[in-house]
A and B are shown apart, each in its own frame.
Chain A
Amino acid sequence: MSHSNTGIPNSNAFINRIITPFLLFVVVAIVYAIVAYESVVVTLLSLVIGASLFVGYSKIPGLKEIIKESIRKDKIILLVTGLVLAIAIPLTLRSQPYIIHILVIAEISIILALGLNFQVGSTGIPNLGYAAFYGVGAYASALLSTRLGISFWISLLAAGFIAALFGWLVGLPTLKTRSYHMALVSIAFGLVTYIMLNNLAFTGGPNGIKNIPAPEIFGWSLFSSIKIFGNAYPVQLNFYYLVLFITLLMVVVSHFVYNSKIGLFWNAVREDEIAAKCSGINASALKLLSFSMGAFLAGIAGALYAHYVGYISPENFNMNTSLQVLGMVIMGGMDNIFGVSIGAFILSVAPEKFRALADFRMLATGLIILLMLMFRPSGIIKQQIRIYATKYFSSKKSSNGDTNG
Chain B
Amino acid sequence: MNTFFQLLISALLVSSLYTLVAVGFTMYVGVINLANFSHGDTCVMGTFLLMPLFLFATKMGWMTPLAGLVIPALIILVILVTGLWGAGIYKILVKPLLVAPRLILLLASVAAGQVIREAIRVIYPNGSNPQVFPKLLPSGGIELSGLTLGYDSLTIIFLTIACIISLNFIIQRTKMGLAMRAVSQNSDVSQIMGINIEKTIISVFILGSALAGLAGILNGTYYGIAKFNLGSNLGIKGFSAAVIGGLGDFQGAIIGGVLLGFIEVFASAYIPNGSQYQDVFSFLAVIAFLIFRPSGILGEKIFEKV
Direct touch of chains A and B (CB < 8 A):
yes
Cβ-defined contact, B107 with A180, below 8 A? no
Q: Does B240 contact A (CB under 8 A)?
A: yes
Q: In the complex the two chains form, what is the Cα distance from A374 to B277 in whole Å?
A: 37
Cβ-defined contact, B239 with A184, below 8 A? yes
Chain B residues in 8 Å Cβ range of A342:
none
Q: How far is the CB of B110 from chain A (nearest CB, A)?
A: 6
Q: Does A402 contact B (CB under 8 A)?
A: no
Cβ-defined contact, B106 with A195, below 8 A? no
Q: Does A192 contact B (CB under 8 A)?
A: yes
Chain B residues in 8 Å Cβ range of A369:
107-108, 110-111, 114
Q: Which of B102, B114, B290 contacts A177 (CB 8 A)?
A: B290
Q: How far is the CB of B239 from chain A (nearest CB, A)?
A: 5
Instruction: List CB contacts (< 8 Å) of B38-60 with chain A.
Output: none
Cβ-defined contact, A366 with B114, below 8 A? yes
Assess A180 versus B106: contact at CB under 8 Å? Given A191-B279, A274-B304, A363-B122: yes
Chain B residue total in the interface (Cβ 8 A): 44
Assess A323 versus B114: contact at CB under 8 Å? Given A179-B103, A185-B290: yes
Chain A residues in 8 Å Cβ range of B236:
184, 187-188, 191
Cβ-defined contact, A185 with B276, below 8 A? no
Kindly name the residue among A180, A188, A365 whose own CB sees the greatest number of chain B CB atoms within 10 A: A180
In the complex, what residue of chain B is closest to A198 when comparing beta carbons? B276
Cβ-defined contact, B35 with A367, below 8 A? no
Cβ-defined contact, A126 with B106, below 8 A? yes
Q: In the complex the two chains form, what is the Cα distance from A180 to B102 in whole Å?
A: 9
Instruction: List CB contacts (< 8 Å) of B141-166 with chain A.
Output: none
Q: In the complex the two chains form, what is the Cα distance from A173 to B285 in whole Å?
A: 12
Cβ-defined contact, A195 with B287, below 8 A? no
In the complex, what residue of chain A is closest to B112 when comparing beta carbons? A370
Cβ-defined contact, B104 with A363, below 8 A? no
Q: In the complex the two chains form, what is the Cα distance from A367 to B106 in whole Å?
A: 15
Q: Does A252 contact B (CB under 8 A)?
A: no
Cβ-defined contact, B35 with A184, below 8 A? yes
Assess A176 versus B283: contact at CB under 8 Å? Given A191-B236, A199-B276: no
Q: Does A181 contact B (CB under 8 A)?
A: yes
Cβ-defined contact, B103 with A126, below 8 A? yes
Q: Does B119 contact A (CB under 8 A)?
A: yes
Assess A180 versus B304: contact at CB under 8 Å? Given A128-B110, A174-B290, A370-B111: no
In the complex, what residue of chain A is closest to B294 when comparing beta carbons? A177
Cβ-defined contact, A195 with B37, below 8 A? no
Cβ-defined contact, B115 with A188, below 8 A? no
Cβ-defined contact, B122 with A373, below 8 A? no
Chain B residues in 8 Å Cβ range of A274:
304, 306
Q: How far is the CB of A271 from chain B (nearest CB, A)?
A: 9
Assess A188 versus B100: contact at CB under 8 Å? Given A366-B111, A370-B111: no
Assess A374 versus B290: contact at CB under 8 Å? Given A179-B106, A184-B35, A326-B107: no
Q: Does B201 contact A (CB under 8 A)?
A: no
In the complex, what residue of chain A is closest to B100 when comparing beta carbons? A377
Cβ-defined contact, B93 with A188, below 8 A? no
Cβ-defined contact, B286 with A188, below 8 A? yes
Chain B residues in 8 Å Cβ range of A184:
35, 236, 239-240, 243, 286
In the complex, what residue of chain B is closest to A362 when comparing beta carbons? B118
Q: In the complex the two chains form, what is the Cα distance from A124 to B100 in whole Å?
A: 13
Cβ-defined contact, A179 with B102, below 8 A? yes
Q: How far is the CB of A336 from chain B (nearest CB, A)?
A: 16
Cβ-defined contact, A187 with B103, below 8 A? no
Chain A residues in 8 Å Cβ range of B37:
128, 183, 187
Write out, one digit per residue, whether chain A residues 7-24 have a CB within 8 A of any chain B CB (1) or not (0).
000000000000000000
Chain A residues in 8 Å Cβ range of B233:
191
Q: In the complex the two chains form, what is the Cα distance from A362 to B304 in whole Å?
A: 37
Q: Does B29 contact A (CB under 8 A)?
A: yes
Chain B residues in 8 Å Cβ range of A179:
102-103, 106
Instruction: List CB contacts (< 8 Å) of B227-252 with chain A.
Output: 232-233, 236, 239-240, 243
Kindly name the residue among B106, B111, B239, B243 whose own CB sees the greatest number of chain A CB atoms within 10 A: B111
Q: Does A359 contact B (CB under 8 A)?
A: yes
Cβ-defined contact, B286 with A373, below 8 A? no
Q: Does B101 contact A (CB under 8 A)?
A: yes
Chain B residues in 8 Å Cβ range of A195:
276-277, 279-280
Q: In the complex the two chains form, what is the Cα distance from A263 to B174 in whole Å?
A: 50
In the complex, what residue of chain A is closest to B103 when comparing beta carbons? A124
Cβ-defined contact, A374 with B108, below 8 A? yes
Cβ-defined contact, B107 with A373, below 8 A? yes
Q: Does B67 contact A (CB under 8 A)?
A: no
Q: Does B171 contact A (CB under 8 A)?
A: no
Cβ-defined contact, A319 with B103, below 8 A? no
Chain A residues in 8 Å Cβ range of B269:
none
Cβ-defined contact, A323 with B110, below 8 A? yes
Q: In the complex the two chains form, what is the Cα distance from A330 to B34 in whole Å?
A: 20
Q: Does B178 contact A (CB under 8 A)?
A: no
Q: Which of A180, A196, A365 contacts B114 (CB 8 A)?
A: A365
28 A/B residue pairs, CB under 8 Å, sorted by A:
A120-B107, A173-B290, A177-B290, A177-B294, A180-B29, A180-B34, A180-B239, A181-B290, A181-B294, A183-B106, A183-B110, A187-B232, A187-B236, A195-B280, A196-B280, A323-B110, A326-B107, A362-B117, A363-B114, A363-B118, A365-B114, A366-B112, A366-B113, A366-B114, A366-B115, A367-B111, A367-B115, A374-B93
3 residue pairs, one from A and one from B, having the closest CB atoms: A180-B35, A366-B114, A363-B118
List residues of chain B with CB under 8 Å of any chain A CB. 29, 34-35, 37, 93, 96-97, 100-104, 106-108, 110-115, 117-119, 121-122, 232-233, 236, 239-240, 243, 276-277, 279-280, 283, 286-287, 290-291, 294, 304, 306
